Structure 1
Amino acid sequence: MRSLQYFPVQLFAVIMGLSGLAIAYAKAYHFLNFPYWPYFTLLILDTIAFFGIFITYVIKWVKYPDAINAEVNHPVKSSFIAAISISFLLISIAYMDFAPPISVTFWWIGAWLHLFFTFNVIKFWIRHQFDVKMINPAWFIPIVGNVLVPIAGVDIVNEYVNLFFFSIGIFYWIVLFTIVTYRMIFHHPLPKKLIPTFFILIAPPAVGFISYFRISFGSIDTFSMILYLIALFTFFLLLLKKSLYTELPFFISWWAYTFPLAAITISTILIYSSFRNYSMYWFSVILLALVTVVVFYVAYKTYLAVKAQKICIPEEE
């Protein structure tokens, strides 16, 4: 039975995907000579989706606090709680050029809300005993959000505040990557509905590159290139494993494809903006086309799932 009680926190990944695509088109406008209207159109769609999902989730929190508590204490869904604050941060980044006051407002909410979620998620991990099979790439979400903070934060707060968030994200990415890799190699494969979360592995180094690019005021050095090349290797590795994804039925987790693809696209555009390399231009265009197709295809599949009343129903564990 469909009910607001089962409105999934994972739907905030929709905002992550749309925001990532809007930001990618903003960079394409600035550096690839793309028209302005795709960015503006996506920004409007992203804003509408954000308020629709956020207000609905707040109503769920008021009406069904026990359902929220169940998500907060769930070994997988607890990581998606941080997607709320990440959505604020990504909206902030998306509005950086169009409306700086809106960007600043969303940044202040998102940055400190995400720090709160980070502390709580890490405390949750420490206090509970988990079976290793519960660990999955979605656990990166509360960590990746910290690396997002400096992207807009460079124009808002002291450099050491931005370095604080950047350091947290990079350090715990390395720690979690080790744990997730151990789980993937030595234990059972991920359940089908979590297989799309493999794409989250692209996001930490790709977003780390973007964040470092902003912190260093546009310089590209050995450290930043290491981050980008790790993201690029992971992207190609996942492409080679495409058979894992092509036969999967639709899950909300399909949105995990979208933001990481947007992140590697934005990173590539930024590299082109520095080096003006012809091949990087066309690679940027190809990645932009790929992420556009993926976002709109996943959005279409989500629409079909909503129409078929397969959203906001009890999930099988």
Structure 2
Amino acid sequence: MRIDISKFSATMFGMVLGIGGLGAGWRAASHVWGVPGVIGETLALTASAIWLIWFSVYILKWIQAPEAAMAEIVHPIQSFFVVLIPMTTMIAAWSIALYLPRIAFGLFICGVAGQLAFTVWGVGGLWIGGRTTETTTPVLYMPTVGGSFVSAIACGLFGYPDAGLLFFGVGFFSIIVMESVILTRLLAHGIPVALRATMGIHLAPPAVGSVAYLAVTSGPPDHLAHMLFGYALFQALVMLRLIPW
């Protein structure tokens, strides 16, 4: 059976985001609570393997179906999922850092640079204007908030906490800006059923932000870390309330 490479979407990299994030969390739990570390290592390496497969497929898409690849880049909603590629590149980097440090560092640099470049390009497009209400969804969080927080975490893990603080600042203030835009759309117009799955992204900013803050600071969690985590818990409760919706 022939596979239509043009149907491959950058959203597939979300698998790496989930598995790699779980692996990183399990690694931390193995140090704090003594849970079996092999589970975290297996998850981390699995995420890296999936990233390599999807990255190869995505390159192949640009070679065999460049029109479809470009259409995804310029799509008002799908384009913001493309930032998952540099984000998961950073996740792959810290997942293999213990085993292949030089390769991991190279992936880290490429991931941070790619995330920053894509975010600047994407936000610049937003500032130009012309965006409709229908295309204003929680996906807007992806580059400025999600991408910046992952860059902050990566910088902290690779020994550059000061640079990580810069990315944390981008993500933190973008939460305030983007949430006001998205809530305005939700309050006035709601969101169609086909796009309601993107509401799950609304939970991520404060949760990932708290992890990013801990990655670029030292010592026990302070007031800001608790505030971010508390807002994440509040968002989770709102999501539970929206299940019947």
TM-score, normalised by the number of residues in structure 1? 0.72
Question: How far, CA to CA, are the matches of 1:31 and 1:22 in structure 2?
Answer: 14
Task: State how far apart, in whole Å, the 2-side matches of 1:102 and 1:32 are.
Answer: 30
Mapped to 1, the partners of 2:169 and 2:222 lie a distance apart of: 17
- 1:237 is aligned to 238
Deviation by residue 1:255-282 (Cα, 9 ceiling, x = unmatched): xxxxxxxxxxxxxxxxxxxxxxxxxxxx
Gapped regions of structure 2 (runs ≥ 5): none
Tell me the distance in 1 between the aligned counterparts of 2:63 and 2:129. 27
Query: Are positions 1:223 and 2:224 aligned together?
Result: yes
Match of 2:191 in 1: 189
1:113 Cα deviation (Å)? 0.6
> 2:29, 2:161 → 1: CA distance?
27
The share of aligned pairs that are identical, in percent, is: 25
| 1:165 CA drift (Å) | 1.1
Structure 1 residue 155: deviation in Å?
4.8
Superposition deviation, residue 127 in structure 1: 2.7
1:275-290 alignment, distance < 5 Å:
none
- The answer to whether the Cα contact below 8 Å between 1:147 and 1:169 also exists between their aligned partners in 2 is yes
Report the equivalent of 1:54.
55
CA distance in 1, matches of 2:100, 2:231: 33
Alignment of 1:173 with 2:175, yes or no, is: yes
For 1:12, the aligned partner's letter is F
Task: Give runs of aligned pairs for residues 131-280 of structure 1, distance below 5 A.
Answer: 131-143=132-144, 144-156=146-158, 158-192=160-194, 194-244=195-245
**In 2 relative to 1, CA 181–131 (structure 1 residues): closer, same or farther, beyond 3 Å?**
same
SS of match in other structure, 1:217: coil
**Aligned CA distance change for structure 1 residues 20 and 154 (closer, same or farther; 3 Å):** closer
Q: 1:98 to 1:198 in 2, by over 3 A?
A: farther
| Cα contact 2:26–2:39 (8 A) shared by 1 | yes
RMSD: 1.9
Kindly indicate whether the alpha-carbon contact (under 8 Å) linking 1:136 and 1:190 is maintained by their aligned counterparts in 2. Answer: no
SS of residue in 2 equivalent to 1:129: coil
- Alignment check: 8 A CA contact 2:133 2:185 kept: yes
Q: Is the 8 A contact 1:96 1:152 kept in 2?
A: no
Distance 2:108 2:124 in 1: 24
Q: After superposing the two structures, state which structure 1 stretch, 122-131 or 45-54, moved more.
A: 122-131
Aligned positions of 1:82-121 closer than 5 A = 82-97=83-98, 99-121=100-122
- State the distance in 2 between where 1:236 and 1:103 align: 37
Partners of 1:72 and 1:48 lie apart in 2 by: 24
Secondary structure class of the residue paired with 1:154: helix
**In 1, are the aligned partners of 2:44 and 2:95 still within 8 Å (CA)?**
yes
> Distance between the aligned counterparts of 1:228 and 1:99, measured in 2?
33
Instruction: Provide the residue aligned with 1:255 in structure 2.
Output: none
Q: Deviations over 1:6-29 (max 9, x none)?
A: 211211111111111111211221
With over 3 angstroms needed to count, the CA separation of the structure-2 counterparts of 1:22 and 1:102, relative to structure 1, is farther
- 1:65-107 CA distance string (max 9 Å, x none): 2211111110111100101011012222334555544432221
Could you say which residue in structure 2 is the equivalent of 1:272? none
Which residue identity lines up with residue 126 of structure 1 in the other structure?
W
User: How far, CA to CA, are the matches of 1:93 and 1:19 in structure 2?
Assistant: 9
Distance 1:198 1:95 in 2: 31
Aligned to 1:14: 15
Instruction: Tell me the distance in 2 between the aligned counterparts of 1:6 and 1:70.
Output: 11
Matched-pair contact (CA < 8 Å) for 1:114–1:142: yes
Structure 2 vs 1, CA of residues 203 and 188 (structure 1 numbering), >3 Å: closer, same or farther?
Answer: closer
Distance 1:24 1:160 in 2: 23
Secondary structure of 1:130's counterpart equals coil
Q: Is the 8 A contact 2:157 2:215 kept in 1?
A: no
Shift of 1:214: 1.8
Instruction: After superposing the two structures, state which structure 1 stretch, 51-60 or 93-102, moved more.
Output: 93-102
Q: Mapping of 1:16-95 within 5 angstroms?
A: 16-95=17-96
Query: 5+ residue gaps in structure 1?
Result: 245-317
- How many residue pairs end up in the alignment? 243
Q: CA deviation at 1:241?
A: 2.2
Please give the alpha-carbon distance, in whole angstroms, between the structure 1 residues aligned to 2:39 and 2:211: 21
Q: TM-score, normalised by structure 2?
A: 0.91
* SS of the residue 1:110 aligns to: helix
Q: What is the CA-CA distance between 1:42 and the residue it aligns to? A: 1.4
Task: Pick 1 or 2: higher relative contact order, CA cutoff 8 A, min separation 6.
Answer: 1
CA-to-partner distance for each residue in 1:124-183, whole Å, 9 max, x for gaps? Answer: 222341111211111111121111112231254654322221111111121111111111
